[in-house]
Amino acid sequence: MLHKVLEIRNLSTTAYALRLERKGLSFKAGQCFNLGLKSSGVNREYSIYSGENDDYLEFLIKEVKEGIVSPSLRKVPLGEEINLHGPYGSFVIDPIKVEQVQFCFICTGTGIAPFHSFIRSHPNLDYQIINGIRFLNERYDYDEYHPFKITTCISREKSTGFHGRLTDYLSKIPVDTKSVFYICGNQKMIQDAYEILRGKKVSGNHIFTEAFF
pLDDT bin (cut points 50, 70, 90) of residue 212 is confident
Over range 72-85, report the average pLDDT. Answer: 97
- Domains along the chain? 2-88 (2.40.30.10), 103-211 (3.40.50.80)
Give the predicted TM-score (pTM) of the model: 0.95
pLDDT band at 211 (very low <50, low <70, confident <90, very high): confident
- pLDDT at residue number 213: 64
Burial of 72 (0-12, 13-18, 19+ CB in 10 A): middle
Q: Which segment of 76-90, 117-131, 155-169 scores lowest on mean pLDDT?
A: 155-169
What confidence category does residue 160 fall into, taking pLDDT thresholds of 50, 70 and 90?
A: confident
Average pLDDT of every residue of the chain: 95
3-state secondary structure of 5: strand
Is residue 77 pLDDT above 80, yes or no? yes
Q: Which stretches does DSSP call E strand in 137-206?
A: 150-154, 162-163, 180-185
Residue 89 scores a pLDDT above 70: yes
pLDDT tens digits along 20-57: 999 999 999 999 999 999 988 899 999 999 999 999 99
Q: How far apart are CA 131 and CA 156, in angstroms?
A: 14
What's the confidence (pLDDT) of residue 72?
96
For 68-79, what is the mean pLDDT?
96
Q: Is the pLDDT of residue 78 over 70?
A: yes
Residue 42 near residue 69 (C-beta atoms within 8 A)? yes
